[in-house]
Amino acid sequence: MTAPRFSSRPAGLLVVVAAVSTLVAILCAGGARSASRAAPLIAFTRPDGVYVMHVDGSGARLLRRTGSTSWVTWSPDGRKLAYASFTYHKPSVRGGIWVMNADGTSATLVAKVSFLPSRPTWSPDSRRIAFAQPPGGHREIWIVNADGANLRRLTLPSLPRLGAAAVAWSPTGDSFAVAAGGWTIPGGGIYLVGADGDVRRNLTPGLDGEAGEPAWSPDARRIAFTSALPRQVAPGQTSLEPRDEEISVVSADGGSQMRLTNNHVPDYDPSWSPDGRAIVFVGAYAGSGTGGEIYLINADGTGLTRLTHNRISEASPSWQPTTR
């Protein structure tokens, strides 16, 4: 997980309320229903726990109080949520990956961690969870059953720059999208990695910066991620801090890449809608070092919409899948 960076967002980018209603109607059209037979929800975190809200940003409510929570992710069947909860005990972090029901009940610790992990990602059959953990050396992927059994490490010996900073399981189940490097290591990228740990290719070879937080589209054709390019601080000079973090999309074969946001403020934590037509993400706000607001944008970069307006340090939005 990256430490949040914050800056003001131009008001002119916000979309009127009428556009929100229209977009929600489109996204929920066709009778798409969740496992609970209700419209899909967006899960997200605040400093005290895991929350859910409707896709238009209304009806936010606490699902489970967890203390410090960094990430939350829906299972592909829409029936479970995995989240990372932690506490700081200098000089390390102690916590774990938890799984709970969609209504917030029956939370179960499935993996203990001693350092802050990446966002948990589910296998397509909702039976396993993968995450990356940076214990200070070469970062690797860990996989565990959703009931906490069979924790194992997936070593990535040929992945460059400190290994896996974040991981996303492909909807096809045969590969991962892995963010290599990190927010302090220039030249990172999104790599396609086989289920056995074999690094197949760099999907973003032309990225002149850093990459993080990959998220697969439901059809497995595209990967959204956070691209962080060094900002120019003087003519001919750049700096790693601050960085220009934006939401980008790359095709799963690495053939094309596009930046969806280009507003020169930190945007991160992308998550796709069930139909692959939109992405929710976190956009930073000014005056705080601890959180941002949740935004929505069409997958072609149009229709930027702000969903939350409360400055309560929200993060890690995850769109509930619909049953097939």
Radius of gyration over alpha carbons of the chain, in Å? 18
Biggest CA–CA distance in the chain, Å, is: 56
Domain span including residue 173: 11-241+305-319
Domains held by the chain: number: 1
Listed as own residue / partner, the contacts of 23-31 with beta carbons closer than 8 Å and 24 or more positions apart are 23/278, 23/296, 23/298, 23/303, 23/305, 24/54, 24/55, 24/56, 26/277, 27/55, 27/273, 27/275, 27/277, 27/278, 28/55
Look at residue 261 in the predicted model and tell me its pLDDT: 92
Residue 69 lies in a domain: yes
Give me the pLDDT at residue 289, please: 45
Between strands 92-101 and 267-272, the pairing is unpaired
**Residue 22 falls inside a structural domain:** yes
pLDDT digits (tens, 9 = 90+) for 178-222: 988 655 555 578 999 998 888 889 899 877 667 889 999 999 999
Could you say which residues of the chain have pLDDT below 70? 1-38, 87-93, 134-139, 157-163, 181-187, 208-209, 229-243, 264, 285-291, 323-324
Does the residue 249 lie in any domain?
Answer: no
Let me know if 39 is exposed, middle or buried by CB neighbors in 10 A (0-12, 13-18, 19+).
Answer: middle
Confirm whether 153 is domain-assigned.
yes
> Looking at the DSSP assignment, which residues form a beta bridge with residue 129?
122, 144
Side-by-side strand order, sheet with 292-298: 267-272, 278-284, 292-298, 305-306
Per-residue tokens: 311: 């400055």
Q: Is 56 inside a domain boundary?
A: yes
- With a CB cutoff of 8 Å and minimum separation 6, the contacts of 186 are 209, 210, 230, 240
Strand arrangement of the beta sheet that strand 108-113 belongs to: 69-74, 80-89, 92-101, 108-113
**Tens digit of pLDDT for each residue in 263-294?**
767 899 999 999 999 999 999 865 444 468 99
Report the distance separating Cα 7 and Cα 317, nearest Å.
19
In a domain, 55, yes or no: yes
**Number of C-beta neighbours around residue 160 at 10 A:** 15
In a domain, 286, yes or no: no
Q: What is the reported pLDDT for 196?
A: 86
Please tell me the predicted confidence (pLDDT) of residue 156. Answer: 73
Phi, psi at residue 309, to the nearest 5°? Answer: -140, 45
CA-based end-to-end distance of the chain: 31
pLDDT for the residue numbered 165: 82
Residue 228 sits in a domain of what CATH number? 2.120.10.30
Q: Is 1 inside any structural domain? A: no
Report whether 67 contacts 85 (CB < 8 A).
yes
Per-residue H/E/C for the chain? CCCCCCCCCCHHHCCCHHHHHHHHHHHCHHHCCCCCCCCCEEEEEECCEEEEEECCCCCCEEEEECCCEEEEEECCCCCEEEEEEEEEECCEEEEEEEEEECCCCCCEEEEEECCCCCCCEECCCCCEEEEEECCCCCEEEEEEECCCCCCEEECCCCCCCCEEEEEEECCCCCEEEEEEEECCEEEEEEEEEECCCCEEEECCCCCCCEEEEEEECCCCCEEEEEEEEEEEEECCEEEEEEEEEEEEEEECCCCCEEECCCCCCCEEEEEECCCCCEEEEEEECCCCCCCEEEEEEECCCCCCEECCCCCCCEEEEEECCCCC
Give the pTM: 0.82
Q: What is the pLDDT of residue 93?
A: 54
